[in-house]
Structure 1
C-alpha cells in the first residue's frame, strides 16, 4: 500500500521542485514530490542541456546576493555528491554603448563590487574571437559566470532527496488541492495525500494550482538551437563565455559547446507566443530556425554551421519580470515559487533552500524582498 500522509508535499519536480525536495529531505522533513511528467522532462524550462549562471544581474541589483548564495549552494551540492554541475566560462552582457543592457549590467556589477571589464566590440573580438558585434557596441565581462548542466542538476537534487528518505513520484498528475483544518489535502489521478505543508513549484501549470496567481503568470514558447561551428576552437568553454547580446537582429543568449556536437543559443523575442501549457506547438519550425540563424550569420564568426538540434521550452513570465517566492497570503503553510520569466534556473539551489526555510522556519533570511507577493498580485 502507498503512503498517504507526509510532513510536506511538493507539486512539480523540475528545477525548483527538485531543489525543494532535496533541501527539505536533508533537514529531516518527510516529503513527497509529485511530477506529472518524467524526471527530468522536456515539457517545461529545466531541460535543453545547459542553463546560464551569472552573478551580473541586470534584471535588478538585488538579485546579486541571491545569485551569490545560489553559487555557494551549487558548489556545496557538487562537493557532497561528487557530480559536476557548474562550469565557469565568464559571462558577457553586450549591446549598444548607450543601451539598457550594458548600463544595467554595469550598475549590477558596481553596486555589488563584482569584478568586471567593459570591452569595446574590438576588444571583445580580440579576447573571444567568435564575437563580431556591430560598431559602437560594448560588452560587460564578468569572470564568475558560466553554465549549469540543467538535467543533471535536477537528477542530482532528486537523488540527494532519495538519499535522505524523500518519496518522489513521476507520471502522477495533480488534479487539485484544498486547505484542511490543519494542513492540506492533495488529489492526483492516482491517489489522495495529506500533509502539514504544501510547496507549489509547478512552472507553467502553477496558475492552475494557485488562484492568487491566476492572472499573474503567462506561459510563453521559446526555441533553442544547436549549431556545429565551422571553427570549433572558437566555441569551446575556454574561449566562448555564456552571453546575452542585443544586436539589430534581436536579443540573443548562448553557450559554448558542452556535450552535444554544437553550441547552443536562443532568442528572446519582444513579443513571445503565449501558449496553453497543455496544448501548444512544441515542435520547432523552419521559421524558428531562420530567425535564430541570423545571429551566427551576422555576429558570430565561424558559427553558422549545420543545425544539430532544436528544442522548445516553456517560459512562464510574471507581471513585472520578477519571480514570485513567498508563502501564500491566506495559507501560511503553502509556499510558492513561480514566474521565473526565463532567467530562473541559476537560482534553483537557493530557491530550494528558501522554500525549505518557509516549511521549517516560517520565513527566510535570504534576500527575497523584490520577490514577495505583497502589492504585486
Structure 2
C-alpha cells in the first residue's frame, strides 16, 4: 500500500448508524470491499444493509476454491478451546447465520453437534471443559463406552472421552459465500470479479483503489483479502503468514453412521493422529483435515501446490485407519487451499495503521468462517461510526502496529 500521502484520522460523531440501522444520507459512504470470500461478502451484506454504496473486488470469482472459503465443509463450535473470550462473539454469529439463512431461504449450517475427543488431560480437552464450566455452557461428557454406542463413526480408546457441544455444526462454505453474496446484492452491493486490486492510496478527501482496469474513488475501504493480505494491509512483512491446508476424503462403509444426524463434527486428539473430521455431505466420503503434521508454509498464494507430498497423505491414512473404524482408509480425494495465520493465532479486525478509513479484516488464522457474520458487523460499525462495541480486543491490529509509522 502506498503511504506517500498524508493519512486521515477522523471519527464520525453520528449516533444514528448503530448495527442494523441505516446511516443518514450525509453519512452514507462509498465503500470498497477488497476480497470476496466469506469475510468480504459478510461485510458487504451488512454494509449494504446499513445504506452504504458497496463495491466488492476480487481477483477471482465469488466464491472460488483458492482461498480460505473453500473445502466443502467448515466447523461451527461454541465450546471454544481458543478461549472463552470468543464465545459471546460466536453465539451472536450463530444468530446472524440464522438471519442470513432466513433472508435467502436456504440452509448453509447444519446443527449436527460437535465433539472434542481425547484423553481427559489433553490440553484441548481440558480447555473446552474449562470454557464450558466458566461460562456455564450446555455440554455432555461421554466415556469411551458411551462414545462407541452413540457415535460409532469415531474409534476411541478405553481411557478417552468425548465432550459434546450441542451448539455446533457443519457449514457448506461455498453455499454460505453464495448466500452472503446474494443477500448483499439484494441489499444493493455490486461485484467486480476477476479484478485484482493493485494499490490502495489514501488522500485527504478520498481513497483511490487502483486496478488494471483503472481507478475508483471511495470514502472507505475494507480489506478482507485473507491470505492475499500482503502489502495491501500495511502491517509489514511476517505478520500474516500463508500456509497450505490439506483436506482428504475417505469413502464411507456405512453411510448412516457418517451422516450429520449421527456424526457430529469433531476435533480429534490422539497420540497417533490429530485432525478435524466432518460428516459425510456428498453421500460418498468423510473429509479429514490433519492437524498432527505441520501445514506447509508458502511464500504467496500463487505458490499453492495442488499436489501433496505422499508422506502427508499416508500419515493421514494411517490416522484414519486407527481412529475412524467405518471408513475405507484410502484417500480418494485430496484438496489444498490456503489461509493466512497471525503469530498469536487471533484474527486482525480493526483500523489499518496506514489510515483509519481502511478497515482490516484479515489473518483469520483458521477461525474466521464461524464468526464471519460478527466480523462483518464490526467492520460495518467501524466504517459507519468509527467504533464498535462488539469489537474484541484480542483482534485489535494495534497489537502488531504499535509504534508503526503512519
TM-score under structure 2 length normalisation: 0.88
1:289: Cα distance to partner?
2.2
1:265: Cα distance to partner?
1.4
2:198 is the counterpart of 1:175: yes
Task: Tell me, in whole angstroms, the C-alpha distance in 2 between the residues paired with 1:151 and 1:11.
Answer: 18
Q: Deviations over 1:165-210 (max 9, x none)?
A: 1111111111111111123111112121110001000011112211
SS at match of 2:374: helix
Q: Which moved more, 1:134-143 or 1:163-172?
A: 134-143
> Paired residue for 1:265?
288
SS at match of 1:64: helix
User: 1:81-96 alignment to 2 at 5 Å?
Assistant: 81-96=104-119
2:335 is the counterpart of 1:311: yes
1:86: Cα distance to partner?
0.9
Q: CA separation of 1:37/1:86 partners in 2, compared to 1, >3 Å: closer, same or farther?
A: same
Q: Which moved more, 1:132-141 or 1:30-39?
A: 132-141
Q: CA separation of 1:269/1:35 partners in 2, compared to 1, >3 Å: closer, same or farther?
A: farther
Q: Is the 8 A contact 2:293 2:312 kept in 1?
A: no
Task: Tell me, in whole angstroms, the C-alpha distance in 1 between the residues paired with 2:69 and 2:370.
Answer: 10
The runs of 4+ residues in structure 1 deviating greater than 6 Å are: none
1:330: Cα distance to partner?
4.2
RMSD: 1.5
Task: Tell me, in whole angstroms, the C-alpha distance in 2 between the residues paired with 1:122 and 1:318.
Answer: 39
Q: Is the 8 A contact 1:229 1:305 kept in 2?
A: no
**2:369 alignment partner, one of 345, 352, 355:** 345
Q: Deviations over 1:151-175 (max 9, x none)?
A: 0111111111111211111111111
**2:144 alignment partner, one of 108, 121, 141:** 121
Task: Tell me, in whole angstroms, the C-alpha distance in 2 between the residues paired with 1:249 and 1:304.
Answer: 18
Structure 2 residue runs of 5 or longer lacking an equivalent are: 1-28, 402-406
Task: Tell me, in whole angstroms, the C-alpha distance in 1 between the residues paired with 2:291 and 2:44.
Answer: 30
**1:106 alignment partner, one of 129, 153, 177:** 129
> Paired residue for 1:294?
318
2:82 is the counterpart of 1:40: no
Task: Tell me, in whole angstroms, the C-alpha distance in 2 between the residues paired with 1:34 and 1:247.
Answer: 42
Q: Which moved more, 1:208-217 or 1:302-311?
A: 302-311
1:35: Cα distance to partner?
0.4
**2:47 alignment partner, one of 5, 13, 24:** 24
Task: Tell me, in whole angstroms, the C-alpha distance in 2 between the residues paired with 1:309 and 1:330.
Answer: 43
2:175 is the counterpart of 1:155: no
1:277: Cα distance to partner?
1.2
1:361: Cα distance to partner?
1.8
SS at match of 2:303: coil
User: 1:349-364 alignment to 2 at 5 Å?
Assistant: 349-364=373-388
Q: How many aligned positions are there?
A: 372
> Paired residue for 1:216?
239
Structure 1 residue runs of 5 or longer lacking an equivalent are: 1-5
Task: Tell me, in whole angstroms, the C-alpha distance in 1 between the residues paired with 2:283 and 2:154.
Answer: 21
Task: Tell me, in whole angstroms, the C-alpha distance in 2 between the residues paired with 1:351 and 1:130.
Answer: 34
